[in-house]
Structure 1
């Protein structure tokens, strides 16, 4: 049973004009998890026998939070229930005492969140660390899912790839970790670099900086780079289970100017999921969902319609300007 609580008082830095989404908090194994929940769309009642309106579950990575999906959520809220949790220690979520912020711990927290919220009929959208975190859940609970959307991400061991090994070695080592903890390096450098189609202004960057405003809040952002290599056995398990994607509709949305996940990773996804629909967002960076929200939202909605994942009334509804940013 869901134990949600209403929205807390907003922190002074939160810009509700750019994040005007319905949200709440829920206790998940001692974590105070903040999440967006748009609720059932206004045209949710379909004809008898129709498939229920899906819940689209958005999972972010490092160092972002649900804010990175805000514009896509605003565009899809008319046709689907949209839920986007902040991982413990990220965004507006608070981690329980003793939490280390490893890949497995984050994945377990998301699985417990889904269970606590009683979610099903899910279409999951993943990006960055959201990929292995979310796909681990799909493999463990395939009964809960109706579709998968993969944005720039991965879900297999990369310890033997110099591209990733060098990055993990530096950013996860003493120097890199210190730069993240002391100077918020992941936010200040990688968030702008992850947007190639547009430039983020000061106001928008503040929404990424402020949630990780102290060294203590940046701890989990500093942990995840070394997890890229240290979690190799767990990533191997996720890779072994990717065959489950053959039984689900899969959409791959890929920014082709990502400095982290390259053409090689897209080629791996094409091989892993040969039946997937692939849409390359030309010129977009790592945070493709934020770099090109109009295109990504349009592709996602069209795919949901083509796969029969929207009730008829929702699929034919005109998009309302009131849900747009």
Structure 2
């Protein structure tokens, strides 16, 4: 299943590109020239989340932003199970297809584990890491695990599929007046039907089910990537990945880390503070 939605070129002024992965057709943008940066989104977003950052960096970097299968403009394969490990496998195929070398990977939300899992398997080709409100270790807080259990229940799964709950309540509910109505519609209209939202419905379960992958990343990220230059850009008002818990864990994993605190930003940092993130990346990876 493909999505018919066509982004407004004034909001998403990029050429769509496609990659036929082993699991389905992946949409991505590949803008600009220079050192490559790979942008990885989480749930319930897509590459649209990075539009301001890509536009701000493509004059000096090659900016690649991918839509995970089941998200954005990518295919919704019936046979794909939409788990984090499988998303990472597909991302790795794209990295190899594009022959990326000396690349920076940025991950947000589930894009952190997806991007880092692919990066640890290609550590010799990674230049650096950017993390924005994400984790790469098992998610233990009771509130997060309770959210996982509740959102995985039958009634809430029906609301995710039938009412687009994750987009309407958790994304647009947080961003409020930060987005124009047209921008909000770009998040809504790429998930237009129950069938198209199957990938969204899996994500809450992965908070608990992805533990084997997160256990591996907790070991492999410091061991294989911990010596790489790293940057954390953190929304300090995030109640999902709280800075007081997450930033010290990231500091412990990376020997060469810069932290940029974004005091007015919540979870979706790219919407709150794109200019600050552009500047931070340009400073860290000149």
Using structure 1 for the length normalisation, give the TM-score.
0.83
Structure 2 residue 28 is the aligned partner of structure 1 residue 35: yes
Residue 156 of structure 2, aligned match among 166, 170, 176: 176
Residues 170-223 of structure 1 show CA distances to partners (whole Å, capped at 9, x for unaligned) of 112222211110110110011124437x52222111000011110111111010
- Distance between the aligned counterparts of 1:12 and 1:193, measured in 2? 22
- Distance between the aligned counterparts of 1:227 and 1:169, measured in 2? 10
Superposition map of 1:29-178 within 5 A: 29-40=22-33, 53-158=34-139, 160-178=140-158
Q: Between Structure 1 and Structure 2, whose CA radius of gyration is higher?
A: 1
- Distance between the aligned counterparts of 2:127 and 2:174, measured in 1? 29
Structure 2 residue runs of 5 or longer lacking an equivalent are none
Of structures 1 and 2, the one scoring higher in RCO (CA 8 A, sep 6+) is: 1
Greater mean alpha carbon deviation, residues 101-110 or residues 174-183: 174-183
Structure 2 residue 283 is the aligned partner of structure 1 residue 290: no
Q: Residue 265 of structure 2 contacts residue 273 of structure 2 at CA under 8 Å; is this kept in 1?
A: yes
Give aligned pairs, total: 283
Over aligned residues, Cα RMSD in angstroms?
Answer: 1.7
1:253 aligns with 233
Q: Secondary structure at the match of 1:294?
A: helix
- Distance between the aligned counterparts of 2:13 and 2:79, measured in 1? 32
- Distance between the aligned counterparts of 1:30 and 1:241, measured in 2? 25
Q: Residue 23 of structure 2 contacts residue 90 of structure 2 at CA under 8 Å; is this kept in 1?
A: no
- Distance between the aligned counterparts of 1:12 and 1:245, measured in 2? 37
Structure 1 residue 274: Cα displacement: 4.6
1:232 aligns with 211
Using structure 2 for the length normalisation, give the TM-score.
0.94
Structure 2 residue 208 is the aligned partner of structure 1 residue 215: no
Structure 1 residue 113: Cα displacement: 1.2
Structure 1 residue 245: Cα displacement: 2.6
Q: Residue 192 of structure 1 contacts residue 199 of structure 1 at CA under 8 Å; is this kept in 2?
A: no
Structure 1 residue 73: Cα displacement: 0.3
Q: Residue 137 of structure 2 contacts residue 214 of structure 2 at CA under 8 Å; is this kept in 1?
A: yes
Q: Residue 39 of structure 2 contacts residue 65 of structure 2 at CA under 8 Å; is this kept in 1?
A: yes
Q: Residue 195 of structure 1 contacts residue 288 of structure 1 at CA under 8 Å; is this kept in 2?
A: no
Structure 1 residue 296: Cα displacement: 1.1
2:8 aligns with 15
- Distance between the aligned counterparts of 2:37 and 2:236, measured in 1? 24
Structure 1 residue 25: Cα displacement: 0.9
Residues 87-129 of structure 1 show CA distances to partners (whole Å, capped at 9, x for unaligned) of 0111000033400101111111111111122222211111000
Greater mean alpha carbon deviation, residues 178-187 or residues 22-31: 22-31
1:195 aligns with 175
Q: Residue 30 of structure 1 contacts residue 95 of structure 1 at CA under 8 Å; is this kept in 2?
A: no
